[in-house]
Amino acid sequence: MVKLSKRLQTIADYVPAGSRLADIGSDHALLPVYLAEQGRVSFAVAGEINDGPLEAARRQVKESGLGAVVHPRQGDGLAVIDPDEVDVVTVAGMGGTLIAAILEQGQSKLGSVKRLVLQPNVAEDQVRRWLAAHDWLLDDETVLEEDGKFYFILCAVRRDDAHEENVKLYRPRRIGGGPLLETEELLRFGPIAAERGEEAFFRKWESELEKLDHIMEGMVRAGTDAALSRLEELAAERNRIKEVLECLPKAKP
């Protein structure tokens, strides 16, 4: 039986029972094999573009004895599936810009898809931006920490009122009496995660502040006009993140 990491388990929990799944960038096909073992998917594609991960996926499927359910396929992004073949797509472990590009290039394959479960390693705002622009409603988002790294997992659904609901979701507003968060900031922080104020959310953004501190220290040492100009921008960004974190409500343990 396959055992998933905390990150993959969280993604798996977003996949409804009885789904027909495409897992893009599936690597060892751990997610689709696990879901098939649990009887949670009736059909799954484990998509991979590179030979090595594809072979690893094939071995995993063969060892599990689930070749009738899980189908490793080689191809770029959503090219591994046919139109109307699946109703859930998962994409994990890539940059947000790449995930958005995969969805953009594969729009013709999304006609029957009702749910997207996406885990960008960075640039989560680019994924939220794509979802909102294409009338996918951000239904839920989770922040988790694993092995010292933080991950956003985004679940989006197709709804007839997605456009109207997205307008509400990203409309500038105050959360918990804090500063007014503009649309761009809600796209960056996560409109649902910011409302929840879970501990992992705050730790994730505190780690971002630490990264900014290191970058700013390097610019001070550089001392060039360009570095000092950029330093002012980063200092303003850092102060804004800190201001938002200090004002957002924190969930009770």
pLDDT-derived band at 179, boundaries 50, 70, 90: confident
Distances (CA, A) of 204 to 131, 170, 192: 22, 21, 15
pLDDT at 221: 85
- Looking at domain 6-169, which CATH architecture does it have? 3-Layer(aba) Sandwich (3.40)
Please check whether residue 117 is in contact with residue 154, taking contact to mean a CB–CB distance below 8 angstroms: yes
Lowest mean pLDDT among 47-51, 94-98, 145-149, 223-227: 223-227
pLDDT at 219: 86
Q: How far apart are CA 113 and CA 141, in angstroms?
A: 19
Q: How far apart are CA 158 and CA 131, in angstroms?
A: 10
- Does residue 72 register a pLDDT over 90? yes
Most confident of 33-42, 168-177, 227-236: 33-42
Please check whether residue 143 is in contact with residue 198, taking contact to mean a CB–CB distance below 8 angstroms: yes
Please check whether residue 173 is in contact with residue 180, taking contact to mean a CB–CB distance below 8 angstroms: yes
The 3-state DSSP class for residue 101 equals helix
Q: What is the percentage of the chain residues whose pLDDT exceeds 70?
A: 99
* Summary mean pLDDT of the chain: 95
Q: What is the pLDDT of residues 191-213, one digit of tens each?
A: 999 999 999 999 999 999 999 99
Q: What is the pLDDT of residues 83-108, one digit of tens each?
A: 999 999 999 999 999 999 999 999 99
Best CA proximity match to 140, nearest among 193, 201, 218: 193
Residue 79 DSSP one-character state: G
Displacement of CA 215 from its chain's centroid (Å):
25
Q: What is the percentage of the chain residues whose pLDDT exceeds 90?
A: 88
The domain locations on the chain are 6-169, 171-253
pLDDT at 253: 66
Does 252 or 126 have the greater pLDDT score? Answer: 126
Please check whether residue 47 is in contact with residue 32, taking contact to mean a CB–CB distance below 8 angstroms: no
Residue 78 DSSP one-character state: G
